[in-house]
Amino acid sequence: LYVANNLNEMTSYMAYPLFETVKATDKWLLLFLYSFQIYADFSGYSAIALGLALLFGYRLPENFNRPYIATSIADFWRRWHISLSSWLRNYLYIPLGGNKHGKARTYFNLMATMALGGLWHGAAVSYLVWGFMHGLLLAIERRFVDRLDGAKSPLLNAARAFVVFFAVSLLWILFKLPDFAHAAAYFVGLFSSDEVPNPPKIYRSLALAYALPVILQHFIVPGRPKGSSEAGSMSWLLKFFVTAIIGILALKALGGSDDPLLPVTTDDRNYHVAVRYVDQPSHRMVIVGSSLSVRLSEDYFTSPNIENLALAGG
């Protein structure tokens, strides 16, 4: 959760209208960081639930199993939010007929199930489209890609895992931005070559430091026997390395947090303001620092409610 919270400080740039100030290359970086953030957030809460259950003598099933090494969308859903995907399969997909009534009906059942799964997350067009697109990808896989299952080529499996991670990451835009118009604008911005005046600075080294624990957990920590702990399946050298990473992040936490910076234009100077977070429904910014009156360009807000600006001359 510490990793997720700190990645959230960076991915807050993905909120509207902040992403309009971000370069296309940084939009891609933020997109992948959000993939790591949402995994660290969801799996972190699940790990807490598993641990609390163990304290009372209950062993709950794993809810996440390194989903970003999945080699297909179907494999992703066997690894991601396993309790939800199992529920969707048992109580929606199978009652709809599953794969028992021909290919066309199977494809429809996949898309309908996942679309309803999207709406389960929230009553918004973005969630509906997110679920439908996952269902569409599942149908396309079943029609064209299933023949590749069981491939023994490490290079082919690595390529498939990259494609799946890329596709899943693109669809996370719809999760991050429930307003479909904003999600569409962010997607278009990924492929825009337009120059962005006075863009915010994204600290890539810091981003890598916070993404590294997720990467380590996926690609270095080995699979463990059922019933064993994750730490118990590591070698002593890997335990030392992971402990060192945790120590570095803990020291960073003691040193304070770096708040995202939003470009602000006054009559005579350019500034950046440190943004704690953006309340998306109202676009109200909560900003840390000292009080000072500045004027935001109409490109950012029409009637902003700004409190406590922290300025860094630009």
Residue 218 has a CB neighbour count (10 Å cut-off) of 16
Report the alpha-carbon angle 163-173-41, nearest 5.
Answer: 90
Query: In this structure, what DSSP letter does residue 267 have?
Result: S
3-class DSSP state of 293: coil
3-class DSSP state of 261: strand
Check 101, 121, 182, 283 and give the catalytic one.
Answer: 121
For 164-233, the DSSP string reads: HHHHHHHHHHHHH--SHHHHHHHHHHHT-----SSPPPP-HHHHHHHHHHHHHHHHTSPP--TTS-TGGG
How far apart are alpha carbons 198 and 200 in whole angstroms?
A: 7
Query: In this structure, what DSSP letter does residue 274 have?
Result: E
> Which tokens belong to 273?
């303001």
Cβ proximity of 180 and 170 under 8 Å: no
> Which tokens belong to 127?
């969630």
Largest Cα–Cα separation, the chain: 69
218 in active site = no
Q: Give the residue numbers annotated as catalytic, written as ranges.
A: 121
